[in-house]
Amino acid sequence: MSLDVEVYRRQGFGARLGVSGALGLLIVDFVNGFADPARFGGGNIVAAIERSAAALSEARRRHWPIVHTRIVFADDGCDANVFCAKAPTLLGLTESIPASAIVPELSPLPGELVVRKTAPSAFFETGLRSWLTQRKVQTLLVAGATTSGCVRASVVDAMSCGFRPVVLRDCVGDRLLAPHEASLFDMDQKYADVRPLDEVLKDLPG
């Protein structure tokens, strides 16, 4: 155990949440713009998208509730907020442009919820919490981008809402690896379990 981790252990962080009750899958902002290094992408995002296709396939096979999110601003920018004041290029993610569309390999099927949001968290002023609660989800598997941004924000809110987040380590990506790794460490210590997809599936029946 590294000295850094030992500090957290000594202070009581890093307990395991485990998997409990019904599962759901949340895929955060895997849209064309975040798959494109010239737009919002880079780092390990493309690899995380490819791995998330396996997570999505497994979720469909097991009939879990599935949620996809997109950042979508109004065409005229009337819903501009502090998030896009910090990152003005996000205002270009409007409903109909290709960059805001979910990547083809993760295209939603009928019955899968698509959450449109204008803030980092998938839960902020959306109906996601109620939708998951109605379907009795207790453990929420999380994939998406970026690890240090909208994934982390969504995980913190999921935990705050009473869900048990499990971040699928190989299914989340960021444009730079340093914030990606730091955020995985932080979430694993405070807000979620961080585990590879195969390891999670191995512990599930069927």
Which residues carry out catalysis?
Answer: 150
Which residue carries 């995985």 as its tokens?
Answer: 184
Tell me the three state secondary structure of residue 131: helix
* Tokens matching residue 14: 């890093």
3-state DSSP helix/strand/coil % of the chain, to nearest 5: 40, 20, 35
Tell me the three state secondary structure of residue 32: helix
* Tokens matching residue 102: 């979910």
Backbone angles phi, psi at 163, to 5 degrees: -85, 155
Give the closest residue to 29 by CA, choosing from 49, 43, 44: 49
